[in-house]
Every structure is written in structure tokens, then in C-alpha cells.
Structure 1
Amino acid sequence: MKRVRRYYYFVMVEPTFQGPTGTPAAVAKGAVDPEVAAVKLLLKLLEKAFKTSRTYGPNNPVAQKFFHEFYTDLTARLETLDRLTFVVQRSELYFQNEVVYQTESQTENLAFKLYVDGIRELSLHKGITQNDLASFLEALWGDYDSPTSDDDIVTRLWEKNLSAVTFVTAEEIMKSSDTTDVLTPQDSGIFDRPVASLREISSAERARQANEGAAGTGQRSRFQSSLAGYEVSPQELEKLAKEIETESARDDTTYILDMLTVILACEKSNTLLASLVDVFGEILETLAKHGTWPMINHVEGLLKEALELCPHLPEEHKKKLSGLFDRLGRPEQIKVIEAVLNKDPNVKTEGLLAFLLQLKPQTVPALCTLLANLESEEHRTIVCEALCTLAKDSPEPLVRGLSDRRPRYVRNLISIIGRLKNPRFAEPLEKLVQHPDSQIRNEVIRMLGALSPSGNGSKLIAFLTDAEEAVRLSALKTLTTGQYTAPFSAWSPIITHKQFMDRSVAEKRMTFQAMRQTAGEEAVPYWHELVTQWLWTDRKNKQSVGALAAEALGKVGTPTAIAALEAGQKRMNRAVRNACTTALAALAKQKRAKG
């Protein structure tokens, strides 16, 4: 049956409830009364009892616990006060001119529910029984699936006729001959009289109206009707309209899931519980087939909450519930997710990352396969994000995937490895030095620099034989910006290769700079040879390399390097001789500056 609620909207100016001194109670300040503080805690227990009872049913152990705690505290309080009387405002309850209850949510706000149904004062009397309290709570929150679901709180309380629960309505206030007296403190007027039931007030009011006769017809208030009037701001009216619209368009799937969770919380039969667990498993698999990720996360939250709030569940069923979500991480289920994502590149991915992060690390191999097969860049990015978290403690599938022939997949794995920042990955990355894709080789160099910014630089020197200049320059840049060391023997195959002489001046300069930083003094004999060699053949290249060698020797600046520069200064080639002279002059200038 579709839920229907009645809302009555009348705009009126209602007098502000006044404290004994005439100051509005809403702003009354002073020392905290222990009695008021105790009542605040009491109402918090009432709110807890309501929320758990409405979500998991009144028979749920947790709901029963909160109910008994509330009843125990309430009866203890009534032993000293005889009755607790609350003045009802739109979003607050007042006790002894102090706010004792207030919450922003109107859908679960006790004060708002009482206010919109016309109740302006509520009293709980000494002698209230557990049955009375249960009936009061039932009337308060209502059963919207019952035939009387359209009744408001006043009607439901009137039908139950609870002697220990009394109230005053806005209708009675508006019909009273002296509104000001009614709204003054509770020691006068109608608030001072015990109200046994709404029926008594209604009878007394009808008798008063009969005595007044027709003479008072012209002075009747426009609120003299069977409906209670209360002030509603435009913002509140708009919010209520939206709530009605949302309720009318309620999502059936969410409703069914919530109902199943309530059944799970209340059911005692092992057979039915086993069937219910299977139903939840089928629901999760169906949602995965349709890519409804937010709903999957919602179900996962419901199951976790059910496990926490249902201590009566047998361990067998608890394990099954805990394992339901793990079933979605099986390879066959991940394959279903792959089909959903590849079927439509524009499929909604809201909630997908949250869903993947709920999976266990054991699903990393299946997620790697998913990453390799996905076609959309957006989808691959989401899976990479999940693997950065799940693969921290189980990176082996990532390492195995580096040997895959699909460049796009390998690049994704390298980016994940870089974010994990685990030096153990440096060794498997070094094996990609001969990978056919230049982008991958470039990315490997960058990751090696991030994972191992110091130490032996031989692994980076190996990239200097690459056919792509961009790859070689990337390796040289990493060597010059890090704290690496390498023996001259590691450099020798690079600089003695015939192709080295054909490389650009900029690359040769960077090579000598990297040699100076990693090999240091070991490279001086090689540069000495370059500045003193004969230039009978390939004169242009040898002259260029000699000048670069003189520049490198000047940066080394050791006695051996200076001796090599002095020897080069005596050569006949003008370009090399000038380069050596310039380097020596720079060294002399540095020495004078220090000295």
C-alpha cells in the first residue's frame, strides 16, 4: 500500500512562549540545572530507541535495550517530579523554560512531529507502565502500513486513551477565550489542569460553544475549524513539498533491501536465515551485472550494520554474510564487471571505486586482468586507483604483469608501482631496458629515479645505448640529478662506441657531466687523452669532443685534471687549446676567490 500523509498549512502568528520573567524561553540563559541536564539525556535515549526500533523492528535486541534504558530512567525521574511536562515548539522541546531537545532533521525530529500534528504541550505522568510507553511510542512514530496510517498523532493518542500521557493541542488553544493566559507559564490556565484525554477537552469545548449561541458568530476566529493552525515559512513549505515528492518516487529496490535487512535482524529460524543470506548474494550479483555500484555499496553497508546490531545471528550465518561481498571478487564476477564496463564506455562509474576498495587483496590478480582488458581510459584509471591500495601487501601480480606484451597495460602497472614507492620494484623494472615501446622505457627510467634516487648508477647507464635520443637524455638527466656512483668501466662501452661521436653536442656534454658526477677522478685519463689526441681524421668531431673534455676537466679541478689541461694547452689545435686555457682561467679565478 502506498504511504499517504496529510499536511495542513495555515499561516498564523503564534505568541512566543514566555518564561517567568517575560524573557523568551528560546534565549533564556543561566547556569545548567542538573534536572534539565538529566531530562536532556532522557530524550536522547528516547531518540535512540526510536531509530533502532524503526530500522530493525521493536523486537530487535538493541532496540529493546534502548527502550528499557529509557523506561528505567523515565520512571526514576517521575518518582521525584510526578510528571514531566514539555512545551512543544516547531523544532524544540522546552522543559522548565529550557531547551531540552533540538535537532536539525525534520523527518526524525520528535518536536516537529508533535508540532505539525497540533500538539503544543505533552506530559508524562507518574505510574506510566511499559505498555503505556510502548503504546505512546507506537502512536508517536506511527505505522504507515496500517489501515489507520492516515491518522495523525493526536488521533492515535486519543484512540489509545492513555491515562499517563496527556497533551494540549493548538486547536484548544485557539478556541480558548484567553490565548495569552494559555501561553503563559505552566502554573496557570489550562496547563495547570491534568488533561486526561482529548475526548474530555473536546466535550467541554462543545458545551462552551453551545452556551455562547449565535451571538458569537461574528467574532469567530478563522481558525475555528477541525484543523490545527501553525506557522510554516516558505522554505519549510518547499522542503515539505520535496519530501512528499521524494516519498512518492521512492526507489523500490532500496525499499526492498531495507525490508530484507529488517527481516534479517528479527528472524530466528536458521532455515529462513540461510535462504535470506542466499537472496542477498543473488541481489549483489544481479546489481553487479547491471553496474549499479552505489546500490552495491548500500547493500554492503546494510550487511555490516546488520552484523553489528544482530548479536543473535549464528556464527555460521555471520560468516556467510561476511563472505557475500568477497564473492564479488572472484574471477568470474570480475569478468562480469569487465563486460559491463566494456559494453558502454559512458556507463556511470559513480560508486565503482568505493566498491572496488571493499574487495580483499586476494582479488588483485583478477583486478590486474580487468585492468589489462578494459578499453576506456576512465575505467582503467579507477582500477589503477583501487590497485594502489589493494596491491600494497601483495604486489606479485603487478610484477608478473610487467612482462605482458600490451604496452598500455604495462604503462598502467608502472604508474601503480611508482605510486607504491617500494624499492623492491627497482629490479623487475630494470629488466624492461629492452622493451620495444619507447614510452615504457622512458617511464621505467623515471620510476627508477623515484624508487632509487641514489646508489649504483649502472642500471641507468644501460639505457644510454638506446636507439631513441629521448630515452638516452632521460637516463642522463636522472643520473645528473641523483646521487649515483658508477665505475669508469661502466661508462667505457658507451663512450668508446663509434655511434657516440655522432651524437649531438648537448648529449655528449650531458654524458661527460654524468661521468664527472658518478666516476669522478677515474674519468680524468680519458679526458686527458681527448685534449691531447692528434686530429688527423674526423677533425670536426674530435675537436668538439676535446673542447667538451676540457670543460669537464675544469669542473673536476683536481691536480691530475689541471695537469691534463696544461698538456692540452700546448696542443696545436686552436679550439682545444682555447678551451683548456678558459678552463684553467676559471680554476684560477675560483682559487683567488677562496683565498
Structure 2
Amino acid sequence: MSDLQRAQEIMAAAMATKAADDPEIGSLKRVLKLLDKTAKSNRTYGSNNPVAQKFSQQLFEEISTHLSNYTKLTVLVQRSALVCRDQIVYQPESDGGSESIAFKLYSDGVREVALSQGMTQEELSYFLDSLWGNNEPGAEDDDIVTRLWSKNLSTVTLVTAEEVAKASGGHEGFLVLDAGMSSESTLRELLDRERARTKSRESSTAAGAASAGAEGSRRLFKSNLIGYEVTDEEIATLAKEIDAETKRDATLYVLDMATAILASEKSSVLLTKLLGLWGSVVDSLLAQGRWTILENVLGVLHDTGAVRPDLSDEHKAQLTALFNGLGQPERLKAIESYLNRTAGADTEGLSTILLMMKPDAIQGICGLMAVLESPAHQAIVADTLLTLAKDHPESLLRGLSDRRPIYVRNLIAILVKLNNPRFLESIEKLVRYPDAQVRKEVIRAMSVFRPNGNGAKLVTFATDADESVRVAAFKLLMSGQYTAPFSLWSPIVSSEEFMERSLSERRLIYHAVRATCGDEAIPHWSQLFTEWHFANRKKKEELALLAAEAMGKLGTPAAVAALELGQKKGAAGVRQACAMALTHINKHRGKPPIAAAS
């Protein structure tokens, strides 16, 4: 192992230990990570979006806490990272692309940013607007430095590449560090010290002008470049940066170059060719499941009109066609293939891509949800459809006729969340759907869209093949919010099949009858008290006992009269049940009687 490699490993370990032990560095990393999220949400959804406002509020609270503890927040800006005291405190993920905060600041000529104590929420909003531009007229072509200086924010201080270059004799990379200069020093402090030293040298030059001739001759043979000694630790750091640069994703390099060409190319022919390539880029990123990179790419393309107001109508039409074609069937098929074949697939950014698709893609997105194997992936697509299909629900309603039960249940769940009562007509057609879970979802939808009124549709579930479906319907009918004529119940409670149901289910049915029919059911129940039973005697006697219990809950004058008759003429068990029901009614007579459905 070479000395350089050993130094690199030692330096990396020392830096990692220092970062872990330094609470200020930890706090700074949290702030910058949240800043990155906030900037992305503001750029994607707009600063007035509730999600973006939530992130902005969290960021303000985090920055305020940091500044109250450490007074100042200062970071050096590198091309692909932000650094504080030799520690990388922000570095975009491999999929960050050219739209990371570090790259954006660096490309706009910012070399150091410092936030001071006392920053208000309004100043933070100005700072966020400046990172990605704002809607002020005439400010479309301004860079970050111009936008921030125009606001004259007292709590935001910048060091620009131009300042560094001036202080370094025209070479930004050759700013001289004083001997023994600590890494704790900020770039602003270095510049101030260099200016003071330059001013001192100018004074000395003016005083010694007499001897300048001979000295000038000797300087003709000396280099004008200013250098400084590089320590082993700095070599190790440089080696680490070079290694990271060589491992950087080649795709990002290509996209960076294409973005730079898009921003600067003047040839109309070359721009036409370049814009023609972006469709292939979209296809490739979709096939690889690189949603966050694709999100950044689409963000760049979306902002092209503002960056390049000189684009021709032909070029604008190319961009429009690209966005209109995001939901093409083959692209949705690529999303499906990646998600279904990739174990533990990363889905960050997927919902944003789907939300960028046009309404004509809703049918295809429904098809995507139907074929995805993972419930988590189905949920992502369902959340997307909740937004996209709000004003275009036709595809959801057509999908209810599909024979895939999981897909149909997802569609019903979306329609229920959209909360439009007119959807109930289509959902009610599924009362005989083969899957029991779908039928239970239909009952849930009925309870949402029709929480009271006519319960005839719910009564049809009384003959459902699945007991859990029947019970769900009975419990809803027992709420007392629905009405149904006894003529609908009579074939059910009079059938031989009714006798074979469990005692608990028969009790539920009688109470559902009581809640929906009221006194209409009393003649049928009264008959159970006095008729003689030659077959199924035990079960029919159970029905009489259940009828007495139901009428005791009903408590109307007609119910009292029927119970008194049963107490006189019924069998022993029936008389006892009727007496208990009458006792219950008398006990609660001081309270308002239970309302009977009319």
C-alpha cells in the first residue's frame, strides 16, 4: 500500500470520527437535507402548495434552532457538494443530477453561503425563491447572485467566484492561504485578509518605485502563478475527491452535457436533434426505474422555455409533444416491467412522474395498477389516480366491470375517496360480484354515499352466499337510518332456508327488520307466539323468542299489545320471553320510545 493510500484511509477515518462527534456538523447536515427537500418541493409543486409550505415551515424551524445554537451557518460550495470545516455536509445522491443545490449554486458563481442569526421566515422564502428563480417580471435570466443581491438580505452573505478570482490575481483556484490558516476560517475571512494584504503591498510598491526597474527585469524570468504547499492530509482529501469523481454515474455526466447544450446551443438544427434525443432519454430512465433523475430531467425541460426564450415554435412543439407523450402505453409498460421484476424497487419520485402525465393517460394508469403485483406499488398508483381522475373518473367507472377483484377493490376505494354520490349507481351493480371482499366494499360504499333513506339495495344482501357479507349489510340496516317495507323481508324470514341460519344471524335479521319496518313486522311476529309447531319445533320456538326480544326493543303500542297477547296465549317459553320484553319496555317507558320506521 502506497503512502498516499495510507494517508487517504487515515484521513477518511479521522474525518468520519470528527463528523460523528461534532453536533454542529450533524445539525448542519439536517438543515441542508431539509433545504434540498424544500427546494425540490417548491420547484415541483410551487411555493403555495400545502406540502411545499409544510417543508418550508419545518426548514425555518430547523434553521432557527441551528442559528440560535451556533450563531452562523456557513458552507463552502463545490461543484457536487457543500463543505463545512473539511466535512462534506451536503452531497446529492447518485441520482441528483445537475439540479442539486450544490451544482446550482456553483454554476451560478457562488463559492460560499453564510446565513446569520435573526433570519425571518420572509427572508427564508426570498432565499428559496432565489435558488430556483421566481415569477417576478424581468428576472427570468437572473442568476442566484443577482436575485439575492436584489433583495439585499441582511442575514444572507455570499462569496462569489468573481471575488475569489480578483483576490487571486485572475485565477480563482490560486487564492493564497496564510501559513497555519485553520480550516475553521471562512472564505469571506480569507478574502478580507487577502484584500488587506494586497492593499499593504500596493502601499509598499508606491514607496519603493525607485528601485522597480532592476527588480522588474529580474521578474521577467519568474512565473506569475501563486502556489502553496500541499500537506499529506490535503493530498488524501484530493485523492478522495478524485476517486469519487471517477465513480460518478456516467449517465449523469451525459445528462449534464445535454443540459448545458440545451441551455447554450444557438444552432436551430442541432437543437432540433437534441430535443429529438430526450424522448429516448425518458424511455431509458423509465426502463431503469430511475425516477428521481427523470424528475430532474423533466424539470429542466419544463423550465427550458424560461431559460431559452429564443426557442422557435418548432422546438416548443417538440417539448410539448414530449410531455404529452409521457403516458404512452409502452412507457407505462416499462414502469410495470421494472416494478414487477425488481425486488425492493425504489419508488421515490415515481408518483411525481405519474402526476406529470396528461388526462388521456388515466386509462393506461388504471391498467398499470391492475397488473402491479405489490400492494405498495398499487397504493402509489391509486394515490396518483385520486388526483388525476378527480375530474375524469370515466376510466375508473369502466374498470368496475373487470374480473380482477383486487383491481376492482382498489377502484372502489378511489371512488369512495373522491366522494361523489353519482358513483354509487355504478358501484351498486356489483352486488352480485363473484368476490366476497368486493361485495363488502360495495356495502361500505353504500354507507358512505347513502348513509340513510331507502335500504332496499342493502336488503338484497340478505341472501348473499357469504355470511360475512350478509352480516355487514344487517349491521348497517340495524343503524336505524334506513327504511325497507316488510314485503322485502317476508320472503326471507318465511323461507325454510331462514330456519337453517345460525341463531346469531337470525337475531341480526330480526333487529334489522325492526329498525327498517317497525310495526309492519308485528303481524308476522305475533303469529309466531300462538301457532302450533309440528316440524322444527325448537327452531320455530327460537324465532318466537327472538321476535319477543325485537318487539321489546321496538316498544311501540302495537308491540306492547302483541307481547301482552303472547304472554297470555303462548307456550311457557314464549310467555316468559314476552314478560321480559314488557318489563324492558316498562323500565324504559320514562324515556322517549325507540322510534319506529314508518
TM-score (norm 2): 0.64
Corresponding residue of 2:385:
387
Cα separation, 2, equivalents of 1:70 and 1:338 = 43
- Cα drift, residue 249 of structure 1: 2.6
- Cα drift, residue 399 of structure 1: 1.7
AA aligned to 2:170 is: R
Contact 1:473 1:507 in 2 (8 A): yes
- Cα drift, residue 568 of structure 1: 0.7
Corresponding residue of 1:447:
445
- Cα drift, residue 355 of structure 1: 1.8
Corresponding residue of 1:156:
170
Contact 1:356 1:386 in 2 (8 A): yes
Cα separation, 1, equivalents of 2:553 and 2:448 = 27
Give CA-to-partner distance per residue, 1:423-475, whole Å, 9 cap, x none: 22222221112122222222222232233222221111111111221111111
Indicate whether 1:331 and 2:322 are aligned: no
Question: Structure 1 pair 173/53, CA: closer, same or farther in 2 (3 Å)?
Answer: closer
Corresponding residue of 2:228:
227
Pairing 1:307-456 to 2, within 5 Å after superposition: 307-456=305-454
Contact 2:567 2:575 in 1 (8 A): yes
Q: Which secondary structure state, in structure 1, belongs to the residue aligned with residue 299 of structure 2?
A: helix
Contact 1:453 1:482 in 2 (8 A): no
Corresponding residue of 1:145:
none
Pairing 1:388-537 to 2, within 5 Å after superposition: 388-481=386-479, 483-537=481-535
Contact 1:289 1:336 in 2 (8 A): yes
Q: Which residue of 159, 176, 183 corresponds with 1:110? A: 159
Question: Structure 1 pair 414/199, CA: closer, same or farther in 2 (3 Å)?
Answer: farther
Corresponding residue of 1:253:
251
Q: Which secondary structure state, in structure 1, belongs to the residue aligned with residue 478 of structure 2?
A: helix
Cα separation, 2, equivalents of 1:592 and 1:62 = 77
Corresponding residue of 1:280:
278
Contact 2:176 2:228 in 1 (8 A): no
Corresponding residue of 1:31:
none
Give CA-to-partner distance per residue, 1:525-578, whole Å, 9 cap, x none: 222222233334321122111111111111111111111111111124111111
AA aligned to 1:321 is: L
AA aligned to 1:366 is: G
Cα separation, 1, equivalents of 2:204 and 2:361 = 63
- Cα drift, residue 284 of structure 1: 0.7
Give CA-to-partner distance per residue, 1:164-218, whole Å, 9 cap, x none: xxx99544999xxxxxxx99x99x98576474999999x99xx9xxxxxxxxxxx
- Cα drift, residue 285 of structure 1: 1.4
Contact 2:567 2:578 in 1 (8 A): yes
- Cα drift, residue 517 of structure 1: 1.6
Question: Structure 1 pair 434/351, CA: closer, same or farther in 2 (3 Å)?
Answer: same
Pairing 1:579-590 to 2, within 5 Å after superposition: 579-590=577-588
* Structure 1 unaligned regions, length at least 5: 1-6, 10-25, 29-46, 78-97, 103-108, 114-135, 141-152, 160-166, 175-181, 208-224
Cα separation, 2, equivalents of 1:304 and 1:455 = 50
Q: Which secondary structure state, in structure 2, belongs to the residue aligned with residue 393 of structure 1?
A: coil
Cα separation, 2, equivalents of 1:189 and 1:328 = 57
Q: Which secondary structure state, in structure 2, belongs to the residue aligned with residue 375 of structure 1?
A: coil
* Structure 2 unaligned regions, length at least 5: 1-7, 12-69, 73-102, 111-130, 133-137, 182-188, 216-225, 594-598
| Identity value in percent | 42
Question: Structure 1 pair 382/403, CA: closer, same or farther in 2 (3 Å)?
Answer: same
- Cα drift, residue 252 of structure 1: 2.1
Cα separation, 2, equivalents of 1:571 and 1:293 = 78
Give CA-to-partner distance per residue, 1:206-261, whole Å, 9 cap, x none: x9xxxxxxxxxxxxxxxxx952799x9x9x99998876654343222222222222
- Cα drift, residue 363 of structure 1: 0.8
Contact 1:261 1:306 in 2 (8 A): no
Cα separation, 1, equivalents of 2:413 and 2:147 = 56
Cα separation, 2, equivalents of 1:473 and 1:576 = 26
The RMSD of aligned alpha carbons is 4.7
TM-score (norm 1): 0.64
